[in-house]
Amino acid sequence: MAKCSYVPLFETKQVKGRVLFRCIAASIFLGICFIVMYRVMFFPVGGKAERWIWIGQFLSELWFCFYWFLTTVSRWNSVYRLPYIQRLSQRFEKELPGIDIFVCTADPLIEPPSMVVNTVLSVMAYDYPPEKLSIYLSDDGGSDLTFYAMLEAANFSKTWLPFCKKFRVEPTSPEAYFRTASEPLNDADNWLSVKILIDGRDSNAVDIEGNPLPTLVYLAREKRPQHHHHFKAGSMNAL
């Protein structure tokens, strides 16, 4: 027989501290039993008013005991479930339905095209089979700015979507990602983008008169929010 390829979509784990919770619940239950015994054994036999007050208090206590019992039973075997979202597509990828996502905008002044573009790129980067995902933008304002912004977004998506999938980017909105990304890279050198514009060691690096040119290097540092880049001192260190 072939091996079963079934993988669970979630894992059930027990909540820690259940033994302590049960001990506390047992002590509370014991206290409730003592209260009930006290109410029954020392029921007043005197005036009518005292008996009705006693009965009212007893009924109130019984009601709160019943409420405590319901809440305790619901937490007696507390568990939490850890979902494996990535396994959903592995099991049902061929059965997943097509999804249409509608994004609406009306006024490019109130809703800037940059915000609309970030929304569209965010939903385009959903972890869903791209052939089953369709995004529609409804522009009630008929804005040329929004239209040309969408053209740029369509071109940028060719780079942004593979980047999101490769590095599992969250959130998938470019603006939100670059605003909140704060994790430093493993090595400071990885922050750098270096381009040698003129290599003085190259014999072809000469001016129009045949004189050698000095080396010219372009270096850019990535500055991430919440990660100190040390301003000009950091630039000198990188150089």
φ, ψ at 177 (rounded to 5°): -65, -50
- Would 33 be classed as within a structural domain? yes
Quote the number of domains for the chain.
2
Those residues with Cβ within 8 angstroms of residue 107's Cβ, 6 or more apart along the chain or in another chain:
141
Instruction: Give yes or no for a contact between 146 and 116, defined as CB atoms under 8 angstroms apart.
Output: yes
Q: Indicate the pTM of the whole model.
A: 0.50
- Would 185 be classed as within a structural domain? no
- Would 230 be classed as within a structural domain? yes
Q: Give the domain-ending residue among 19, 47, 79.
A: 79
- Would 89 be classed as within a structural domain? no
Note whether 167 and 107 are same-domain residues. yes
Note whether 169 and 204 are same-domain residues. yes
Q: Is a pLDDT exceeding 70 seen at residue 47? A: yes
Note whether 73 and 102 are same-domain residues. no
Note whether 108 and 226 are same-domain residues. yes
Please tell me which of 42-51, 59-68, 87-96, 225-234 the model is most confident about, judged by mean pLDDT. 59-68
- How far is it, in rounded angstroms, from Cα 237 to Cα 191? 12
Note whether 74 and 121 are same-domain residues. no
Strand partners, 79: 14
Note whether 115 and 71 are same-domain residues. no
Tens-place pLDDT, residues 194-219: 777 778 788 888 777 787 777 777 77
Residue range of the domain that includes 74:
11-79
Tens-place pLDDT, residues 49-61: 888 888 898 999 9
- Residue 11 parent element (H or E): strand 10-14
Note whether 158 and 112 are same-domain residues. yes
- Residue 111 annotated as binding site: yes
- Would 88 be classed as within a structural domain? no
Q: Which residue has the higher pLDDT, 163 or 89?
A: 163
Note whether 100 and 70 are same-domain residues. no
Note whether 204 and 102 are same-domain residues. yes
- HSE (side-chain half, CA atoms, 13 Å) at 153: 24
Look at strands 192-198 and 216-221 and give their pairing. Answer: antiparallel
Look at strands 79-83 and 99-105 and give their pairing. Answer: unpaired
- Would 44 be classed as within a structural domain? yes
- How far is it, in rounded angstroms, from Cα 206 to Cα 224? 38
Note whether 167 and 201 are same-domain residues. yes
Note whether 219 and 149 are same-domain residues. yes
- Residue 127 annotated as binding site: no
Note whether 115 and 144 are same-domain residues. yes
